[in-house]
A and B are shown apart, each in its own frame.
Chain A
Amino acid sequence: MDTTTIKSNFKSEEYFINMGPQHPATHGVLRLLLTIDGEIIKKVEPDLGYIHRSIEKMCERDSYQQIVHLTDRMDYLSSHINNEAVCLTVENALQLEIPERVKVIRTILGELTRLASHQLWWGVMGMDVGALTTYFYGFRDRELINDIFEETCGARLTMNYNIPGGLMFDIHPNFVQRTKDFITHFKTKLPEYDRLLTGNVIFQKRMKGVGILSKEDAISFGASGPVGRGSGYSCDVRKHHPYSAYNQVTFNEVLKTEGDSLARYQVRIEEMWESMAIIEQLIDNIPEGEYKVATNAVIKLPKGEFYQKVETARGELGVYINSTGTKNPYRLKFRSPGFSNLSLLNHIAVGGKIGDLVASMATLDLVIPDIDR
Chain B
Amino acid sequence: MSYFGDIYRGIKTLLTGMSVTGKYFLHSRKGAITQQYPDNRDTLKMFDRFRGEVVMPHNENNEHRCTGCQKCELACPNGSIEIIWDRQIDPESGKKKKMIDQHIYHLGMCTMCGLCIEACPTDAILWAQNFENSVYNRAYLTKVLNKPGSKLMPGVEE
Check B10–A201 contact: CB distance below 8 A: yes
Check B17–A196 contact: CB distance below 8 A: yes
A150 vs chain B, min Cβ distance (A)? 5
B151 CB–A CB distance under 8 Å? no
Check B114–A154 contact: CB distance below 8 A: yes
Check A197–B17 contact: CB distance below 8 A: yes
A143 vs chain B, min Cβ distance (A)? 5
Given the interface pairs A66-B77, A154-B49, the reply to whether A200 lies near B118 with Cβ below 8 Å is no
With most chain B CB atoms within 10 A of its CB, the pick from A66, A152, A197 is A66
**Inside 8 A of A68's CB, which chain B residues have their CB?**
113
Check B114–A160 contact: CB distance below 8 A: yes
Given the interface pairs A65-B75, A192-B20, the reply to whether A154 lies near B51 with Cβ below 8 Å is yes
B112 CB–A CB distance under 8 Å? yes
Check B49–A199 contact: CB distance below 8 A: no
Check A199–B13 contact: CB distance below 8 A: yes
Which chain B residues (66-118) contact chain A, with CB distance < 8 Å? Answer: 75, 77, 111-115, 118
Q: In the bound complex, what is the Cα–Cα distance between A115 and B81 (angstroms)?
A: 36
B65 vs chain A, min Cβ distance (A)? 19
**Inside 8 A of B14's CB, which chain A residues have their CB?**
200-201
Check B127–A154 contact: CB distance below 8 A: yes
**Inside 8 A of A69's CB, which chain B residues have their CB?**
77, 111, 113, 115
**Inside 8 A of B9's CB, which chain A residues have their CB?**
201
A172 CB–B CB distance under 8 Å? yes
Q: Which of A160, A172, A199 contacts B113 (CB 8 A)?
A: A160
A329 vs chain B, min Cβ distance (A)? 14
A17 CB–B CB distance under 8 Å? no
**Inside 8 A of A172's CB, which chain B residues have their CB?**
47, 49
A151 CB–B CB distance under 8 Å? yes
Given the interface pairs A69-B77, A70-B77, A196-B21, the reply to whether A151 lies near B16 with Cβ below 8 Å is no
A195 CB–B CB distance under 8 Å? yes
**Interface 0/1 of A122-155, CB less than 8 Å to B:** 0000000000010000001001100100111111
A270 CB–B CB distance under 8 Å? no
A202 CB–B CB distance under 8 Å? yes
By size class, the interface of chain A is 20 to 34
A-B contact count (CB 8 A): 73
Which chain B residues (1-60) contact chain A, with CB distance < 8 Å? Answer: 6, 9-10, 13-14, 16-17, 19-21, 33, 46-47, 49-51
Check A155–B112 contact: CB distance below 8 A: yes
B15 vs chain A, min Cβ distance (A)? 10
**Inside 8 A of B119's CB, which chain A residues have their CB?**
297
Check B16–A195 contact: CB distance below 8 A: yes
Check B49–A152 contact: CB distance below 8 A: yes
A184 vs chain B, min Cβ distance (A)? 13
**Inside 8 A of B114's CB, which chain A residues have their CB?**
154, 160, 168
**Interface 0/1 of A46-58, CB less than 8 Å to B:** 0000000000000
Check A195–B33 contact: CB distance below 8 A: no
Q: Which of A154, A160, A202, A297 contacts B10 (CB 8 A)?
A: A202
Check A196–B20 contact: CB distance below 8 A: yes
A78 CB–B CB distance under 8 Å? no
**Interface 0/1 of A346-368, CB less than 8 Å to B:** 00000000000000000000000
Which single residue of chain B is at the shortest CB-CB distance from A144?
Answer: B33
A158 CB–B CB distance under 8 Å? yes
Q: Which of B6, B20, B49 contacts A151 (CB 8 A)?
A: B49
**Inside 8 A of B6's CB, which chain A residues have their CB?**
201
A14 CB–B CB distance under 8 Å? no
Q: In the bound complex, what is the Cα–Cα distance between A366 and B115 (angstroms)?
A: 30
**Inside 8 A of A196's CB, which chain B residues have their CB?**
17, 20-21
Check B10–A155 contact: CB distance below 8 A: no
Q: In the bound complex, what is the Cα–Cα distance between A166 and B143 (angstroms)?
A: 32
A126 vs chain B, min Cβ distance (A)? 11
Additional A-B contacts beyond A158-B111, A158-B112 (8; CB < 8 A): A65-B115, A66-B113, A66-B115, A68-B113, A158-B113, A160-B113, A195-B16, A195-B20
13 of the cross-chain contacts (CB-CB < 8 Å) are: A62-B77, A66-B77, A66-B115, A147-B47, A151-B49, A154-B114, A155-B51, A158-B112, A168-B114, A192-B20, A196-B17, A199-B13, A297-B119
Task: Please give the residue numbers on chain A whose beta carbons come within 8 Å of chain B beta carbons, in ascending order.
Answer: 62, 65-66, 68-70, 133, 140, 143-144, 147, 150-155, 158, 160, 163, 168-169, 172, 192, 195-197, 199-202, 297
